[in-house]
Chain A
Amino acid sequence: MAKYVLTFIAMIFAVVLFQTLFADLVTIGFARPDLIIVITVWLTLSKDLLWGSAFAFSAGFLEDSHNPDFLGLGALVKVLSAIVIYLVSHRVRTDSYAVRIGMIAVVAFVHDIIYFFVVYAFDPHLGLLSIVNTILPSAAYTAFVGAGILYLSERRLVVKFEA
């Protein structure tokens, strides 16, 4: 168990490190991938809600620490995302690869919309501008990155199984 917890903590730091260190370097236009969302969805669907929400909470808080005005917002929206994914997974078949990628895109989109609207104090003009310029392309980009990570994780599982 201790090994799992240590791996989990290392993963939190690694993902937050990527998000703050490399995410800005791989932006395309205004689109920026959100690896925290990808891992939250992946953990919630493939492991358990507890792992997913614990990851979302910890990584969200660390990410929020650079923006004290909205400390807790990222963690809140990400934990709520994990809960919604979990609840939806009871009603929709999530075995399909395409469904999982679609879920990542939807969660990234809804997450960013809530985040931006709160940050911009519900200003509809700025919110709409952000949706077109940033949120939609970022959701697509995050889904693309998520597809890669899901593919790699499933491949690894198959290799393990065959071995």
Chain B
Amino acid sequence: MKWISPLLSKEKALRTSLILAGISLTYLLLPHGTKGLMSSALQGVYSPFYGLSNRVTDLFQVYEENLQLKDTITHQMLHLAMLGEERKENSRLRSLLGFRETIQYDLVAAELITLDPKRRQNAVIVETRYGTGVSPDLPVVNTNGLVGKTSSVTSEQVSVELLTSPNCRVAARDANTRTLGIIRWEGGKLLRLDNVSYSDSVSEGDTIITSGLGGLFPESLPIGIIDTVYAGESPFFRTVEVRPFVDFGALDELMILKQSGF
């Protein structure tokens, strides 16, 4: 190592480099809080470039997402076309059998404004376009499933009574076994499927949908999935707890189902 000493004594560049290494080491050994402040200052210098970097990365992500969405849309359009054919066939068969006509619904988009100040957990206020003809007691859904029903309506604002309201009861059925029941809320994050006797066939993991029997909600709207089934206090009925598909704490855009032609 003797050759380093003469180098150090005559070479300014080597001395400067060692000083730079010493400064780096000092910074590395600084307390976390101080390093955080210095990092922020450095990022301030570099943030315009870093912002650009994030945007370019976002652009690539959006491109990927766009490709996926195009793929999904193509699949959905094919699915929709098939469903349209099946719907026509269903309509023909129903008329042949003399069944009543199924009701057609229009979707009215509604944007969440606030929680209902009087009933924070049970209702939200949404806004719709003027003149959409929304009235009380219409089903409200989002992309995950049934959210609740409209209650009071003003010119543009609508109060939506959520499934997590004691006043909101929905005629429902097990999508697999067709077992009927009534969905209601008793507190907590889960819903209850009432009127399920011990002889009825229900099991955990089954999907619960609207039965359409109450007259208010159309048939087959997804509500949730059976979380637990157990023998409750009642000697006649089992207790069935349902985990709703909708996250009531993270509601955003909602859709109000309005009967076509009204």
Contacts and interface: CB of A to CB of B under 8 A. Distances in A.
B60 A25 contact: yes
A69 B32 contact: yes
B14 interface: yes
Contacts, number: 105
Interface of B: 3-4, 7, 11-14, 16-18, 20-21, 23-30, 32, 35-36, 38-39, 42-43, 45-46, 49-50, 52-53, 56-57, 60
Interface residues of A, number: 37
Given A50-B16, A71-B28, A72-B24, 20 more contacts: A20-B50, A21-B56, A24-B57, A54-B16, A61-B42, A62-B42, A62-B46, A66-B39, A67-B39, A68-B32, A69-B32, A69-B35, A71-B30, A71-B38, A72-B27, A73-B28, A75-B27, A83-B14, A83-B17, A86-B17
A48 B14 CA distance: 10
A71 B35 CA distance: 6
A18 to B, nearest CB: 10
Interface of A: 13, 16-17, 20-21, 24-25, 48-50, 52-54, 56-57, 60-62, 64-73, 75-76, 79-80, 82-83, 86-87, 90
B154 to A, nearest CB: 50
Contacts of B11: 49
Contacts of B12: 50
A50 B13 contact: yes
A75 B24 contact: yes
Contacts of B17: 49-50, 52-53, 79, 82-83, 86
Given A62-B46, A73-B28, A75-B24, A49 B14 contact: yes
A82 B16 CA distance: 12
A75 B7 CA distance: 23
9 contacts: A21-B52, A24-B57, A50-B13, A60-B24, A64-B39, A66-B50, A75-B24, A86-B13, A87-B4
Nearest to A71: B35
Contacts of B16: 50, 53-54
Contacts of A57: 20, 23-24
A80 B21 contact: yes
B42 A65 contact: yes
A49 B214 CA distance: 83
A62 B30 CA distance: 17
B14 A71 contact: no
A75 B22 CA distance: 10
The 6 closest A-B pairs by CB, nearest first: A72-B27, A65-B42, A76-B24, A72-B28, A53-B17, A68-B39
A53 B11 CA distance: 14
A80 to B, nearest CB: 6
Nearest to A49: B13
